[in-house]
Amino acid sequence: MEEIRHRTVHVNGIDMHVAEKGEEGAPVILFIHGFPELWYYWRHQIEALSALGYRAVAPDLRGYGDTEAPAMAAEYTCLHVVGDLVALLDAVAPDQDKVFVVGHDWGAIIAWYLCQFRPDRVKALVNMSVVFNPRNPKRKPLETLKAFYGPDYYICRFQEPGEIEDEFARLGTETVLKEFYSYRDPGPLFLPKGKGFGHSPDAQITLPSWLPEEEFNYYYTKYEKNGFTPGINYYRNIDKNWELTAPWTGSQIKVPVKFIVGDQDLTYNSPGTKDYINKGGFKSNVPFLQECSASSLFRRIASSAPLSLFQSSTASSATPSFSSAAQSPPISDFDLRILQLSPNSFEAETDYFTLKICTATESTEK
């Protein structure tokens, strides 16, 4: 079996590490990871979808893993990161005007930005966890978050350079990563000063079933080497991104979209999000998204056969046709590892999670 290939590509002034698998010329799927993740988050989907005839491309984003990490926090804006990805597509798929895109967590945010800034490069999007939130010209994001959650909310705690890094250093890389990966509370994440994640220092943290210790060690090795600062710098540009995206105030996402979120995901349970998704607000801002099957209960199926994002069994389909069924282990904000979707093969359960699925209709715009 062909191995996942690794290479370094010089894009937008930095050296970016890319993992990829699939034939040259095959339709590209660009996978965009979140925090605290790496290209490795998509390792199962790379294998499954390349076997179906796609070319899976998963970079370490700016500052992550084996990709270069600029020193200044100001070099982690949405324009920098989207610029990296556009340059990456130019380098690895110069013959493809449009590609499929898949994002999770911060990767979902970046994917929304990519669709806003360069819809001409996106064939269709599958996004997870983070909905598209249109820019509110009347208030900056951080002041809104502080008003809702207070100063101990994790995004607020991430703002002061060096402060949260010092606390994470005292906890240790292994503990911090395990805390994030095992977090299952649908409520907001708070990190009070000096109290870490609220557990005693000697507390045993059990990894989720989808992440064996030997696979966790890959993440640990990279974060132990590079630290958390580059990833946290994305959060430190939330207000700057708001300023930079003023020209896109009122713009919609005009590409076909599928959105997936677990009902225990902290993003789904944030104030106003359920109504935004279920009462039409999301659809109005993402017009080529259409709700499909109210909610379903799923468990990982026993079959080990690779399943596709798209209904077609090969990559030959000219237009995306998304499935309305899915397989996945229980979902939380940090353990969503789905993207092995099937139109008709799943096993329903009643004791796991509700998977909210929205699917896209193809845009008629050219």
Q: How do residues 253-277 score in pLDDT, each as one tens digit?
A: 999 999 988 888 899 999 999 999 9
Asked if residue 365 belongs to a domain, the reply is no
Asked if residue 27 belongs to a domain, the reply is yes
pLDDT at 336 over 80: no
Task: Report the sign of the C-alpha dihedral through residues 296, 300, 301, 306, in that order.
Answer: positive
CA atoms within 13 A on the CB side of 283: 14
Asked if residue 19 belongs to a domain, the reply is yes
In this structure, the answer to whether residues 39 and 128 fall within a common structural domain is yes
Q: Supply the DSSP symbol for 188.
A: P
Q: Supply the DSSP symbol for 345.
A: -
Pairing of strands 55-59, 14-21: antiparallel
Cα 116-362-43 angle, rounded to 5 deg: 70
Asked if residue 315 belongs to a domain, the reply is no
**More reliable by pLDDT, 53 or 365:** 53
In this structure, the answer to whether residues 120 and 226 fall within a common structural domain is no
In this structure, the answer to whether residues 205 and 56 fall within a common structural domain is no
In this structure, the answer to whether residues 17 and 118 fall within a common structural domain is yes
pLDDT tens profile 17-65: 999 999 999 999 999 999 999 999 999 999 999 999 999 999 999 999 9
For the chain, give the mean pLDDT: 82
Give pLDDT, residue 119: 98
Asked if residue 104 belongs to a domain, the reply is yes
Q: Any alpha helices (H) in 207-323, and if so which ranges?
A: 213-226, 229-235, 238-244, 273-278, 281-285
In this structure, the answer to whether residues 17 and 156 fall within a common structural domain is no
Tokens 């819809």 appear where?
Answer: 119
Provide the CATH number for the domain around residue 109.
3.40.50.1820
Contacts of 118 by beta carbon, 8 Å cutoff, 6+ apart: 82, 86
Contacts of 340 by beta carbon, 8 Å cutoff, 6+ apart: 44, 45, 48, 306, 307, 308, 327, 328
In this structure, the answer to whether residues 285 and 173 fall within a common structural domain is no
Task: Report the sign of the C-alpha dihedral through residues 33, 264, 136, 98, in that order.
Answer: positive
Domain of residue 113 covers: 5-137+249-296+354-360
In this structure, the answer to whether residues 262 and 274 fall within a common structural domain is yes
Asked if residue 346 belongs to a domain, the reply is no
Beta bridge mates, 190: 153
pLDDT at 337 over 70: no
pLDDT bracket for residue 10 (50, 70, 90): very high
Cis peptide before 36 (omega within 30 of 0): yes
**More reliable by pLDDT, 322 or 304:** 322
In this structure, the answer to whether residues 81 and 128 fall within a common structural domain is yes
pLDDT tens profile 103-117: 999 999 999 999 999
The pTM (predicted TM-score) of the whole model is 0.84
92 exposed, middle or buried (CB, 10 Å; 0-12, 13-18, 19+)? buried
* C-alpha torsion angle, residues 128, 84, 317, 286 (rounded to 10): 40
335 to 215, 224, 357: CA distances (angstroms):
13, 20, 17
pLDDT bracket for residue 333 (50, 70, 90): very low
Domain ends where: 239, 259, 274? Answer: 239
Work out how many domains the chain is built from and give that number: 2
In this structure, the answer to whether residues 131 and 260 fall within a common structural domain is yes
Helices 213-226 + 173-181 axis angle, to 10 = 130
In this structure, the answer to whether residues 200 and 178 fall within a common structural domain is yes
In this structure, the answer to whether residues 217 and 232 fall within a common structural domain is yes
In this structure, the answer to whether residues 104 and 214 fall within a common structural domain is no
30 exposed, middle or buried (CB, 10 Å; 0-12, 13-18, 19+)? buried
- Please check whether residue 122 is in contact with residue 255, taking contact to mean a CB–CB distance below 8 angstroms: yes
DSSP E strands, the chain = 5-11, 14-21, 28-32, 55-59, 99-104, 122-128, 257-262, 289-291, 296-299, 326-327, 340-341, 347-348, 353-360
Domain ends where: 193, 211, 239? Answer: 239
b vs e for 98-116, b when ≥16 Cβ sit within 10 Å of the residue's Cβ?
bbbbbbbbbbbbbbbbbbb
Give pLDDT, residue 315: 43
Cα–chain center distance at 155 = 17
Domain ends where: 239, 257, 281? Answer: 239
**More reliable by pLDDT, 128 or 63:** 63
